[in-house]
Structure 1
Amino acid sequence: MGKIVAVCTSPQKGMRKKNVGEGLLVPEHGLEGDAHTGTWHRQVSLLALESIEKMRQQGLDVHPGDFAENLTTRGIDLVSLPVGTRLKIGSQAVGEVTQIGKECHHRCAIYYQAGDCVMPREGIFIRVLEGGPVKVGDDIEVLA
């Protein structure tokens, strides 16, 4: 079982996200108020704090949301989860892993600062099956 360490949103795509501390996961839509919501397979993005730490070890001053992830987690190996895995997020929400990593068509500011970015390799995406509130400190666990 892991923990949610940040809940992040942005008003536009292509921006770093801000940790807002809490939010609402909406079924078949995503994180309420975020630019990436919609009826597609990448409704919510997740990145492990452990991945962010890798970038910090390269000398970057980066924080949750800087890689445009919606949920930053700790204590769960996200990239080892196969597509189709279900995750319980907080007390009510359930998400299904739809994609591991992504192709970056445009190199982000982090890439230009460090020569690398972890989100394309270590970020995952889910669609929201069951909605509910999510906040910093909530549990995130693998269901199946």
Structure 2
Amino acid sequence: MGVVRAVCTSTAKGTQKTEQPSVTLQADWGVEGDAHGGKWHRQVSLLPLEPVEAFRARGAEVGNGAFGENLVVEGIDLKSLPIGTQLTCGDTLLELTQIGKECHARCAIYHQMGDCIMPREGVFCRVLRGGRVAPGDPIEVAA
């Protein structure tokens, strides 16, 4: 089992997200008020805390949401899960739809550090059942 460490949103695509006290996930849409919501397979983005902390230890000054992630999660190796894995987080139910992503243009973090972890560490999910998510909520692979 893991734990949600941060929840983040942005109103425009291509920008860093900012931390929120909580977010509401809508079934078959994503995070309410987030620019990436919609009827597609990348409704919610998740990034594990551990590689973010390692990136910070290398000198990167990045906050939660800097990589465009909606949920920062500690304790689950997200990229090792197979596509189709379901995750519960509070009352919500997510389905893993994509591992990593192709970066079409180098982001500001890449230009600063020569690297960006989202393309290889981030995962994307569809929202099967909505609800509220906040830092401190448990997240786990559904049985």
TM-score (norm 1): 0.97
| Unpaired segments ≥5 residues, structure 1 | none
Where does residue 102 of structure 1 map in the other structure?
101
Number of equivalent positions: 143
In 2: Cα distance, 1:55 partner to 1:21 partner: 24
CA-CA distance at 1:67 after TM superposition: 0.4
In 1: Cα distance, 2:67 partner to 2:97 partner: 19
CA-CA distance at 1:6 after TM superposition: 0.5
Runs of 4+ in 1 over 4 A off after TM superposition: none
Where does residue 86 of structure 1 map in the other structure?
86
Where does residue 114 of structure 1 map in the other structure?
113
Question: Aligned-residue CA RMSD in angstroms?
Answer: 0.7
CA-CA distance at 1:54 after TM superposition: 2.0
Q: Quick one: percent identity of the two aligned structures?
A: 59
In 2: Cα distance, 1:110 partner to 1:118 partner: 9
Q: In the alignment, does 2:23 pair up with 1:23?
A: yes
Where does residue 52 of structure 1 map in the other structure?
52
Where does residue 134 of structure 1 map in the other structure?
133
CA-CA distance at 1:8 after TM superposition: 0.2
TM-score (norm 2): 0.98
In 2: Cα distance, 1:7 partner to 1:59 partner: 23
In 1: Cα distance, 2:60 partner to 2:31 partner: 27
